[in-house]
């Protein structure tokens, strides 16, 4: 039997971050992972998707280069090489993470771990006694009746990352982060893309004006959109929608979210990350790890959400779900096209919207280049209870996208 202070099941962002934080305090740590270190985020989610998105954005920019005075001919996509690039990024980061864990003195055990008691874990016929056990087993793509994955025609978010040849056309079911990002990737690569969303607008979790802008952007990219619609049935690869239309896509990506993966015998054991069934974001899991291992609590109401691509889509804090909802707040909005930097970069699409009450920022929604960085400024302001007046005193560099934050705040 091997003995450790901390035993962690799951090597994703929540698991490996917790391991590193505890190891940094001198604790002995054993980390179990049945697949690859890095979890869904590194291997089957955030990182590989962003690698594909990066290529898609470059390809789109090249196709618009002529208006900037750059003449390029014969541009095409070699998707096998794109796939190789994606794989190389993942492997490089995974090797780096594995080395970091090794250098921190963390024992990594590859295999399926079973909890045999509140202080014991078994893996490959070896018993590990741990003073504390932490579960960070993550999540898996959610599956619904009638759209069961066959990994060929009906694809999960895991499956789509493994395609080595682009389909002629695709139907994406669901318009959360996964659905929107893959619509952006595939349409940029010339795939005829259709999105079906059950709600009455795309990305229903976001601000209503964000949804409206996404729909406008998608229409300009010739992405077909069906809202208030669902897949009624599939017969011989013909997809019948609830609105009476029938489609014949080459494949279907089901992007309806994720569900937790939990081992047995978990009573009384701490659970973090996607397995906790709270907010399924990698940075939320890392914050849970800091709270658990370093006793650094965080505000769970101030967790940024980002959808990547061009322009980036981000929000934090409170959002308006309708035009009427806006009336509860003091609202300011500035178009990205008002910013000099946006014109220099040929990235004028989007807006910055800030909501406040009683002189304090309550939330913000951003559709803009660098939106993932801009939203963090608002998160810091809300988290530190800074007033609108405090923020008006800050000097913002010129020319930047951050000036949009300043201009929006000055209108409150």
Do the beta carbons of residue 166 and residue 76 sit within 8 Å?
no
Q: What pLDDT score was predicted for residue 200?
A: 97
- Cα three-residue angle 144-148-149, rounded to 5 degrees: 125
Tokens encoding 241: 């929608």
Does residue 300 form part of some domain? no
Tokens encoding 323: 């035009």
pLDDT band of 73, cuts 50, 70, 90: confident
Burial of 364 (0-12, 13-18, 19+ CB in 10 A): buried
Query: Could you tell me which residues come within 8 angstroms of residue 218 by beta carbon, excluding any fewer than 6 positions away?
Result: 183, 187, 195, 202, 225
Q: For residue 281, give the nearest of 218, 374, 205, 348 by alpha carbon.
A: 205
> How many structural domains is the chain composed of?
3
Report the distance separating Cα 227 and Cα 84, nearest Å: 35
Q: What pLDDT score was predicted for residue 47?
A: 97
Report the distance separating Cα 23 and Cα 30, nearest Å: 10
342: left (phi over 0), alpha (psi -120 to 50) or beta: alpha
* pTM for this entry: 0.95
User: Taking the CB of residue 194, how many other CB atoms lie within 10 A of it?
Assistant: 21
21 and 69 fall within a common domain: yes
Does residue 331 form part of some domain? yes
Q: What pLDDT score was predicted for residue 265?
A: 80
- Cα three-residue angle 118-121-125, rounded to 5 degrees: 145
Q: For residue 16, give the nearest of 258, 269, 290 by alpha carbon.
A: 290
192 and 311 fall within a common domain: no
Report the distance separating Cα 47 and Cα 62, nearest Å: 23
269 and 384 fall within a common domain: no
213 and 356 fall within a common domain: no
Does residue 337 form part of some domain? yes
pLDDT band of 268, cuts 50, 70, 90: confident
Statement: residue 292 has pLDDT above 90: yes
- For residues 225-232, average pLDDT: 98
pLDDT band of 74, cuts 50, 70, 90: confident
Q: Which residue has the tokens 């002189």?
A: 359
Tokens encoding 82: 């794109």
Q: Which residue has the tokens 């951050």?
A: 402
Q: What is the 3-state secondary structure (H, E, C) of the chain?
A: CEEEEEEEECCCHHHHHHHHHHHCCCCCEEEEECCCCCHHHHHHCHHHHHHHHHHHHHHHHHHCHHHHCCCCCCCCCCHHHHHHHHHHHHHHHHHHHHHHHHHCCCEEEECCCEEEECCEEEECCEEEEEEEEEECCCEEECCCCCCCCCCCCEECHHHHCCCCCCCCEEEEECCCHHHHHHHHHHHHCCCEEEEECCCCCCCCCCCHHHHHHHHHHHHHCCCEEECCCCEEEEECCEEEECCCCEECCCEEEECCCEEECCCCCCCCCEECHHHHCCCCCHHHHHHHHHHHHHCCCCCCCCCCEEECCCCEEEEEECCCCCCCHHHHCEEEEEEHHHCHHHHHCCCCCCEEEEEEECCEEEEEEEEECCHHHHHHHHHHHHHCCCEHHHHHCCCCCCCCCHHHHHHHHHCC
127 and 16 fall within a common domain: yes
- For residues 61-66, average pLDDT: 90
Domain boundary among 229, 254, 279: 254
Q: What is the 3-state secondary structure (H, E, C) of 93-116?
A: HHHHHHHHHHHCCCEEEECCCEEE
Q: What is the torsional sign of CA 253, 254, 255, 257?
A: negative
Tokens encoding 68: 């900037």
Q: What pLDDT score was predicted for residue 94?
A: 98
Statement: residue 266 has pLDDT above 90: no
59 and 200 fall within a common domain: no
Statement: residue 326 has pLDDT above 90: yes
Residues 25-50 have pLDDT tens digits of 999 999 999 999 999 999 999 999 99
Report the distance separating Cα 356 and Cα 390, nearest Å: 13
pLDDT over 70 percentage in the chain: 100
Residues 327-368 have pLDDT tens digits of 999 999 999 999 999 999 999 999 999 999 999 999 999 999
Residues 128-163 have pLDDT tens digits of 999 999 999 999 999 999 999 999 999 999 999 999
Tokens encoding 32: 């179990």
CA 132, chain centre distance (Å): 30
Statement: residue 370 has pLDDT above 90: yes
Statement: residue 211 has pLDDT above 90: yes
CATH number of the domain bearing residue 370: 3.30.390.30
Do the beta carbons of residue 18 and residue 136 sit within 8 Å?
yes
196 and 332 fall within a common domain: no
Average model confidence (pLDDT) for the chain?
A: 96
Residues 172-192 have pLDDT tens digits of 999 999 999 999 999 999 999
15 and 115 fall within a common domain: yes
* Domain region containing 38: 2-140+258-294
129 and 38 fall within a common domain: yes
47 and 133 fall within a common domain: yes
- For residues 108-112, average pLDDT: 96
CATH number of the domain bearing residue 204: 3.50.50.60
Does residue 392 form part of some domain? yes
Does residue 184 form part of some domain? yes
127 and 214 fall within a common domain: no
234 and 277 fall within a common domain: no
Does residue 299 form part of some domain? no
């Amino acid at each position: 039997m091997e003995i450790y202070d901390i035993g962690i099941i799951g090597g994703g962002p929540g698991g490996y971050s917790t391991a590193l934080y505890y190891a940094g305090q001198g604790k002995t740590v054993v980390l179990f992972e049945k697949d690859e270190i890095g979890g869904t985020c590194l291997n089957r989610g955030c990182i590989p998707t962003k690698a594909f998105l990066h290529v898609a954005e470059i390809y789109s920019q090249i196709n618009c280069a002529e208006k900037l005075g750059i003449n390029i001919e014969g541009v095409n996509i070699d998707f096998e090489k794109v796939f190789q690039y994606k794989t190389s990024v993942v492997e490089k980061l995974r090797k780096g993470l594995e080395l970091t864990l090794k250098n921190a003195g963390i024992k990594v055990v590859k295999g399926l771990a079973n909890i045999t008691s509140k202080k014991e874990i078994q893996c490959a016929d070896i018993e590990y006694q741990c003073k504390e056990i932490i579960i960070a087993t993550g999540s898996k793509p959610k599956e619904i009746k009638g759209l069961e994955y066959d990994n060929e025609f009906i694809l999960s978010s895991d499956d789509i990352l493994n395609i080595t040849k682009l389909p002629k056309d695709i139907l994406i079911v669901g318009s959360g982060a996964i659905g929107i990002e893959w619509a952006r990737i595939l349409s940029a690569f010339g795939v005829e893309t259709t999105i079906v969303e059950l709600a009455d607008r795309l990305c229903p979790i976001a601000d209503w004006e964000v949804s409206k802008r996404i729909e406008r952007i998608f229409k300009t990219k010739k992405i077909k959109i069906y809202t208030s619609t669902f897949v009624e049935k599939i017969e011989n690869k013909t997809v019948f929608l609830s609105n009476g239309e029938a489609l014949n896509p080459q494949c279907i990506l089901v992007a309806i979210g994720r569900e937790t993966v939990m081992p047995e015998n978990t009573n009384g054991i701490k659970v973090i990350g996607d397995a906790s069934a709270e907010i399924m974001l990698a940075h939320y899991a890392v914050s849970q790890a800091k709270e658990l291992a370093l006793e650094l609590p965080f505000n769970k109401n101030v967790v940024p959400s980002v959808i990547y691509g061009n322009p980036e889509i981000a929000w934090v804090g409170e959002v308006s779900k309708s035009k009427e909802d806006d009336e509860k707040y003091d609202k300011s909005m500035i178009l990205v096209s008002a910013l000099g930097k946006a014109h220099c970069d040929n990235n004028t699409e989007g807006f910055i919207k800030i909501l406040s009450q009683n002189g304090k920022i309550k939330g913000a929604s951003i559709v803009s280049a660098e939106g993932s960085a801009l939203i963090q400024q608002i998160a810091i302001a809300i988290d530190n209870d800074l007033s609108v007046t405090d923020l008006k005193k800050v000097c913002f560099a010129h020319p930047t996208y951050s000036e949009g934050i300043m201009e929006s705040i000055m209108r409150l």
